[in-house]
Structure 1
Amino acid sequence: MKLSNKGRYGVRALFDIAFHNDGRPTQIREISEREMIPARFLEQIFQDLKKAGIIGAKRGPRGGYHLARPAAEITLGDVFRALEGPLVVVPAEDDASEGPCPDAAAAIFRDLAGSIEKCFDAISLADVVAKGAALGIRRRGRDRATYVI
């Protein structure tokens, strides 16, 4: 199993929304700057996350992207399935489907994929936010004042 940049960036962007803005609308530009993710790539990622019902969008001057449900209800499995499809263990290209026990090996890889999926489903976005706080990551969205006229 190999995690793509799309999946990793998706988790980082969702962490950013949940951690720095408490799930309130956040503009792509802000996430891109804080997480050092190309804004164009984030737009593509957010399209997939929105289609999967993980995030929502709000238009207007105070708009941006927000979590569609509480961080505790969004798992890493949800995110990776939305961005990369099913979580599978991909056999090496040189693994032959021939030999005395090809079905046994395939069954083991299926079981392994199921175990990995359970691990991803056991970690919520709230867990990632708690880990960020425990590591001492500073919340940056709160430092600036907002003036409304």
Structure 2
Amino acid sequence: MPVDKCGGVATPRWFGYALQSLVYLAHHADRDDRCPSGEIAGGCATEATLMRRILSRLARAQIVGAREGREGGYFLLRPPESITLGEVYRALEIAEPLHSGMLDSADDCTALGSGMKEAFGDVIRETERRMMEVLDGRTIADMIGQVFGQKV
């Protein structure tokens, strides 16, 4: 089983599942409805345990709300047009950046590797900055519109 399915450390895959879960909640539930984690996980084709971990981080960031018990489940705390993809990305506290592996390939023991590590660092910082600009400019409502061809 992959680490991101059984561990508590957020990976880039969690970001994809988080976005899918928010689109699912916005598209399938009324404001007053609650969706159980198992239903959301089924809609996103992943495990309920992983989905609960992701949703708990989104709840801590006050993106989703949660209610326990038989009538419980998850729900959006705000309209989809007010939830940015950047906010979701930051809420997950992803341990491994989306461009993981670049720095690991450069060996500090060689002149080339040491120089490449510094060059990679510049590329990574610029990539991360631009990525966050894009993510901060898009919302869950934008995703719904693209996936389902409708405005929220």
Give the TM-score normalised by structure 1: 0.73
| Residue 55 (structure 2) aligns with | 46
Residue number among 16, 22, 34 corresponding to 1:8 in the alignment: 16
Instruction: Give the AA of the match of 2:54.
Output: I
Q: Which has the larger displacement, 32-41 or 81-90?
A: 81-90
Percent identity of the aligned residues?
27
**CA distance change for structure 1 residues 65 and 56 in 2, over 3 Å: closer, same or farther?**
same
TM superposition shift of 1:88: 6.4
Deviation sequence 1:66-111 (CA, Å, 0-9, x none): 1121111111111122124386644342232337x93x65334312
- For residues 112 and 98 of structure 1, what CA distance do their matches in structure 2 show? 19
> 1:96-115, aligned counterparts within 5 Å?
96-98=113-115, 102=118, 106-115=121-130
Does residue 121 (structure 1) correspond to residue 142 (structure 2)? The answer is no
- SS of the aligned residue for 1:85 comes to coil
Instruction: Give the AA of the match of 1:133.
Output: F
Instruction: Give the AA of the match of 2:45.
Output: M
TM superposition shift of 1:28: 1.4
Tell me, yes or no, if the aligned pair for 1:89 and 1:110 is still in contact at 8 Å: no
TM superposition shift of 1:61: 4.5
| Residue 4 (structure 2) aligns with | none
Runs of 4+ residues deviating >6 angstroms? none
**CA distance change for structure 1 residues 33 and 108 in 2, over 3 Å: closer, same or farther?**
closer
TM superposition shift of 1:60: 4.8
Instruction: Give the AA of the match of 1:5.
Output: R
Tell me, yes or no, if the aligned pair for 1:74 and 1:124 is still in contact at 8 Å: yes
Which structure has more helix as a fraction of its residues?
Answer: 2
TM superposition shift of 1:40: 1.0
**CA distance change for structure 1 residues 15 and 97 in 2, over 3 Å: closer, same or farther?**
same
| Residue 27 (structure 2) aligns with | 19
- For residues 112 and 36 of structure 1, what CA distance do their matches in structure 2 show? 29
- SS of the aligned residue for 1:42 comes to helix
Structure 1, gaps ≥5 residues long: 136-149
Give the TM-score normalised by structure 2: 0.72
- SS of the aligned residue for 2:88 comes to helix
Instruction: Give the AA of the match of 1:58.
Output: R
